[in-house]
A and B are shown apart, each in its own frame.
Chain A
Amino acid sequence: MERLIEEIPNFFTIWNVIFLAKAMGVTFLLTAIGCIVGFSVGGLLAIFRKTKTILLLPIRIFIVLYTEIFRRIPFLVSLLLFFYVFQIIKISDDLFLIATITVCVIATAYIGEIIRSGIESINQTQWDAAAAMNFTYYQTLKEIIFPQAWKVILPPAFGFFIMFIKDTALASQIGVMELTFAAKVLNNKGFSPLLSFGTILILYFILSFPLDRFGKYMEKKLASNRN
């Protein structure tokens, strides 16, 4: 314990702090890009999934397969799979890019499901009423379904963002310079694992706790609005 206290001033030098802050930025960036892409593409997937024409049937089947497959592969395995596939097709060697693409692919599958269940939470009678008023599919979604559905979509979406902040820790396994990897580097430099891993535990907490609070706050507010 005394050794630990002696180590603290050595650990929190300006270089280490900058190093950790950069790593924190990478973690945040990975999550943010994944969530933005996941939300936009996942939303599209959910919209196409609910179409009814026979013409779009292949697309619907593809969407079902996509979401079912990517929600059942562990993040670690899909990261490694993408990593080795990228090595074969030689598009890019950038580890950050590979990790980002994996995050986006997985996030799309998960958020697509969240948005779809949000759309499905709206009563069938609303669809019927819209059809009776001769709304097109797009108009129904825009004017009737989404204004009600986003209250159901937002709370689990926040839970998902937090989940992805945590899951990006696995990107350290292919060598992306994010928080967990930074802790491993510091640990290998000879700092105590208690200090290096303890610090990043706190940093992860700082990243995800505000989101957690905000999600809970939104959930409460939206729930009271709905009744």
Chain B
Amino acid sequence: MGYTLVYTQVLEFLPYLIKGAWISLQIAILAFFGGMFFGLILATIRTFGSKISNNLVICYVTFFTNTPQLVQIYFLFFALPEFGILLSPYIAVLLGMTLNAAAYLCEIQRAGFLSIRQNELDAAKTLNFTLLQQVKYVILPHIMKVLFPPLSNHYIIMTLGTSMAAIFGVEELTGRAFNINSETFRSVEIFSITALIYIVITFIATFLLAIIGRYFFKAKIRIIQ
């Protein structure tokens, strides 16, 4: 033993770490909405596309859901320069996370598509709803009720996934923890504080998402499981 935990030295760096957490959040949000966008396109192709395009999307999804995100980013970061495409670490991580998220979110959003029932659309048409009204009053409330819990779940998973960016030298929360670690060598203290910040930010995210889900989409999400 003979090791005493000293937090004072590390606490000086707390503002620095919290700014890092902000960058983590940025990456998570950008990658999430990027993934939502591509996932929506993929899910549309998967539901309405021809057989060939359908199979291509299935290949994409199985490949990206069955290989580690870390190795995918490694591949983007180290193998693409062979073809003359040089990505900065931040862009490589963002691109890797977006591509990965697109695969997962495609599956989730497809489940949402499948949850719309034809009779409901017919009923809306009989009531002379315009397309916009159909989307607003019939499709969205239904889809979001089904989709909101898995989407918010995936957002939390992605927030945790941003810690991978540290490996490529992006200075987000974990990356900044690495920096402080090599400066002070108070490893246990630093990483316990980093873990605590992650717990806090994911908890806040769960809380906000639960409130949004309850009030806007009537989706039932429990804050503590």
A contacts, CB < 8 Å to B = 4, 64, 67-69, 72-78, 80-81, 84-85, 87-90, 113, 116-117, 162, 165-167, 169-170, 172-173, 179-180, 183, 187, 192-194, 197-198, 200-201, 204-205, 208-209, 212
Do A73 and B198 touch across chains, with their CB atoms under 8 A apart?
yes
Contact of B75 among A78, A172, A198 (CB under 8 A): A198
Say yes or no for B225: interface residue by CB 8 A criterion.
yes
With A and B bound together, what is the CA distance between A23 and B103 in angstroms?
A: 27
With A and B bound together, what is the CA distance between A212 and B164 in angstroms?
A: 24
A89-B1 contact given A69-B199, A77-B194, A193-B78, CB 8 Å threshold:
yes
**Which A residues lie within 8 Å of B195 (CB)?**
73, 77-78, 81
With A and B bound together, what is the CA distance between A87 and B191 in angstroms?
A: 14
**Which A residues lie within 8 Å of B60 (CB)?**
none
Do B70 and A81 touch across chains, with their CB atoms under 8 A apart?
no
Say yes or no for B188: interface residue by CB 8 A criterion.
yes
Contact of B3 among A76, A88, A180 (CB under 8 A): A88
Do B82 and A76 touch across chains, with their CB atoms under 8 A apart?
no
With A and B bound together, what is the CA distance between A208 and B64 in angstroms?
A: 11
How many of chain B's residues touch chain A, expressed as a range?
35 or more
Main secondary structure of the interface of A (DSSP, over half): helix
Do B70 and A208 touch across chains, with their CB atoms under 8 A apart?
no
A75-B79 contact given A180-B71, A200-B71, CB 8 Å threshold:
no
B contacts, CB < 8 Å to A = 1, 3, 62-63, 65-72, 74-75, 78-79, 82, 156, 160-164, 166-167, 174, 177, 187-188, 191-192, 194-195, 198-199, 202-203, 224-225
Do A72 and B74 touch across chains, with their CB atoms under 8 A apart?
no
A204-B71 contact given A197-B78, A209-B62, CB 8 Å threshold:
yes
Do A72 and B70 touch across chains, with their CB atoms under 8 A apart?
no
With A and B bound together, what is the CA distance between A180 and B71 in angstroms?
A: 7
What residue in chain B is nearest A65 (Cβ atoms)?
A: B224
